[in-house]
Amino acid sequence: MRTDLLVNNFVYKSVKTKKLTIFEPHFRRNFIHIKDVVLGIIFAIKNFNKLKSNIYNLGLSSANISKLMLAKKIKKKMNKLKIKLITNRKDPDKRDYFVSNKKIEKKGFKAKTSLDQGIDELITLFNVDNKKVINNY
């Protein structure tokens, strides 16, 4: 598992340390569950002629959220989580963007697994067995 990805990283740190330190909390991202990535690839294979010669974003439209919004979603599930916002330093990861998934949705694909479902799965995983997850980041 890539624990450097933002949702995975935030949930991992939340479970293990009960605190999150966030730089530039207003930076936005778009998220998608691995199950929906797989379904998106299968959809693309099955609909090759309909999709060929084009580029599509693959994400969960309801998950175009800021880092702070993500942290608050996690906190709803983990009451003891402390969120610390750092305002005098810049995040080395400068990604801040809104992603439109409308183009692929108009072709018939829509991600289904909610961000809350993914967070719940990660909380369960990180609480169950420390040996399954190696955090290299």
CA distances from 132 to 5, 33, 40, 50, 127 (A): 17, 19, 27, 40, 10
Residue 98: predicted pLDDT: 87
The CATH architecture that domain 6-129 belongs to is 3-Layer(aba) Sandwich (3.40)
Please tell me the distance from the alpha carbon of residue 61 to that of residue 65, in angstroms, as a whole number: 9
Kindly state the tokens that stand for 101: 């998934």
Classify residue 63 as exposed, middle or buried by CB count within 10 Å of its CB (0-12, 13-18, 19+).
buried
Q: 0.85 exceeded by the pTM?
A: yes
Domain residue spans of the chain: 6-129
Residue 135: predicted pLDDT: 62
Residue 137: predicted pLDDT: 56
| pLDDT tens string 26-52 | 999 999 999 999 999 999 999 999 999
Please tell me the distance from the alpha carbon of residue 10 to that of residue 22, in angstroms, as a whole number: 9
- Which segments in the chain show pLDDT lower than 50? none
